[in-house]
Structure 1
Amino acid sequence: MASRLHFVSFLLLLVVYPAISTNSEGEALHALRARLSDPTNVLQSWDPTLVNPCTWFHVTCDDRNRVIRLDLGNSNISGPLGPELGRLQHLQYLELYRNNFEGKIPEALGNLKSLISMDLYGNRFQGEIPKSFAKLKSLRFLRLNNNKLSGSIPRELATLSNLKVFDVSNNDLCGTIPVDGPFTNFPFQSFENNSRLNGPELQGLVPYDFGC
């Protein structure tokens, strides 16, 4: 009898665990919503009482009810991002372009190990590009252009061998441009209109951040 009860308890855990797992993603997204100003009610469907966020507008899940895409581009949203986004462990696409997001880009975004594309362009982000982005080994597209970012381009990003598109134009970056890894293939347009950015670093010399 006791073994049968243990077996039933195990089956219940198998049923409940996915709900707990996906609901934690819903909690993370709802925490994000609480930070933001949403004058056109784009996030109105984000109901935290649901089992998971897969029925919410602008959220896409896989067949296991895990959030893999967040599409909030051109949504007239403003406010800061918080570390809660880093809890979306299965996220592949983060599309937040052309809004009024502000403040620093959270270091916690470096925890999104499944991320393929991150589009944060056309906002008001300030501060430095997080060095934690170097942990995003699946990343192919990183667009940070048209913000107010400062500091140097982290040389750790040169380890992102899958990175195909990188755009930091129209910011206030300084120092020099890395020349290793994927940076050998990015066009000049990816870096233009950063008045304190001094061109590629010289091969074989220790990088020096001129003007930073």
Structure 2
Amino acid sequence: MGLKWGTMCLMLVVGFLPYVFADYQGHALFSLRRNLKDPENVLQSWDPTLVNPCTWFHVTCNSENQVVRVDLGNAGLSGSLVPELGDLHSLQYLELSKNKLVGTIPPQLGKLKSLISLDLYNNNFTGQIPASLGDLKSLVFLRLNNNSLRGRIPNELTGLPNLKVVDFSNNSFCGTIPTTGSFARFSAKSFENNPALNGPELLGAPYDSSCH
């Protein structure tokens, strides 16, 4: 009897795990929805009473019901991002470009170890690039252009081995442009129209304490 009961309990737990995981993702995405204004109702299907967010529009999941894409570019959204986005551990593509988003980039996005593409361009983001984005070792595309970001470009980003496309143009970055690691392959065009950016980083140059 004990063995049979234990087997039944294990089956129940294993069967329940995908739903718990899906609900965890749904909580993260619904936290984002609550923080956004959505005049065009593109998030209308993001219903928190549904356990699985894989049924929501603009959300793509893999065969294991893990969220791998969020596509909300040019959706007329305003508001700010939420730290809960960092809980979407299987997320590969986060597309939020061409909206009216404000506030800072949450440092919790650095927890998205599977992220391949981060597109936040053409918004109104402020503050600095979180150094935690240097933990996104799978990242290939990082586009932050046409915002109001400031401060230094974190040297932590130079350690991203797969980074092939960056665009930091049309912001308010200051200091120098990193030139080591993955940044050795990027041209000046990726950094243009940042009036306080002083060109490529020079070895042995004095630290500019005025940039913050």
Matches within 5 A, 1:13-32: 13-32=13-32
Identity between Structure 1 and Structure 2 (%): 58
Question: Are 2:71 and 1:71 aligned?
Answer: yes
Structural RMSD (CA): 1.0
| Paired letter, 1:208 | Y
Taking the aligned partners of 1:149 and 1:97, their CA distance within structure 2 comes to: 14
Equivalence for 2:99? 99
Any idea what the Cα deviations from partners look like across 1:78-121, whole Å, max 9, x if unmatched? 00101010000000000000001100000000000000000000
User: In structure 1, the residue corresponding to 2:16 is in which secondary structure?
Assistant: helix
Which blocks of at least 5 consecutive residues in structure 1 are unaligned?
Answer: none
- Displacement of 1:50: 1.0
Alignment of 1:20-169 (within 5 A): 20-169=20-169
Task: Give secondary structure in 2 for the equivalent of 1:127.
Answer: coil
Runs of 4 or more, structure 1, over 6 Å off, are none
Distance 1:164 1:103, change over 3 A: same
Structure 1 pair 12–207 and aligned structure 2 pair: CA distance change class (3 A): farther
Residues 146 and 207 from structure 1, CA distance in 2 versus in 1: closer, same or farther, beyond 3 angstroms?
farther
Residues 176, 208 of structure 1: 8 Å contact kept = no
TM-score (norm 2): 0.97
Q: Output the CA distance in 1 between the equivalents of 2:65 and 2:38.
A: 25
TM-score of the aligned structures, taking structure 1 as reference length:
0.97
Structure 2 Cα separation of the partners of residues 164 and 209 of structure 1 = 28
| Equivalence map 1:187-206=2 (5 Å) | 187-203=187-203, 205=204
| Alpha-carbon spacing, 1:144–1:207, altered in 2? closer, same or farther (3 Å) | farther
Q: CA deviation at 1:2?
A: 1.5
1:27 aligns to what SS in structure 2? helix
